[in-house]
Amino acid sequence: MALAAADRATVRALWKKMGSNVGVYATEALERMFLGFPSTTTYFLHLDLSLGSAQVKAHGQKVADALTLALEHLEDLPRALSALRHRHVRELRVDPASFQLLAHCLLVTLARHFPGDFSPTLQASLVKFLSHVISALASDCR
């Protein structure tokens, strides 16, 4: 099921508003996930997971870049995210539930930073977008 044009426009407008800070918000979402759901840290034992660490910031930027790539390639997410899917599912064996937890933490982070913009419509569009991304990333798990 494709993401509706209105949802695409809504998410793209938020991405434009975030500008070069997408990595900052993704990093905060990762930090929230690590604190709120400690089991997710098992995939990152090789990193310094303390708040504000350079390694978490670097990974947050990777998450931001992947989400931006997904937004740019909504027509064919499985192909656009195939390398990430392979790495996370086949090599790292990330539990797909972790993608859901990160998506939840990203929603909380964005609601915190954009309270005036975070309408039910924006939330619904983000949930749909993130669901499509998660589906593309976890498709090899089935």
CA distance 22 to 38: 23
Write out pLDDT tens, residues 16-66: 999 999 999 999 999 999 999 999 998 888 899 999 999 999 999 999 999
Q: Quote the pLDDT of residue 138.
A: 86
Backbone angles phi, psi at 3, to 5 degrees: -75, 130
Query: pLDDT > 90: what percent of the chain?
Result: 76
pTM for this model (two decimals): 0.92
Sign of the alpha-carbon torsion through 15, 89, 60, 83: negative
Q: Tell me the domains of the chain and their CATH numbers.
A: 5-141 (1.10.490.10)
SS3 readout for the chain: CCCCHHHHHHHHHHHHHHHHHHHHHHHHHHHHHHHHCHHHHHHHCCCCCCCCCHHHHHHHHHHHHHHHHHHHCHHHHHHHCHHHHHHHHHHCCCCHHHHHHHHHHHHHHHHHHCCCCCCHHHHHHHHHHHHHHHHHHHHHHC
CA distance 28 to 36: 12
- CB distance 130 to 104 below 8 Å: no
CA distance 123 to 34: 22
pLDDT greater at residue 140 or residue 53: 53
Mean pLDDT along residues 75-95: 86
Instruction: Give me 20's structure tokens.
Output: 């070069």
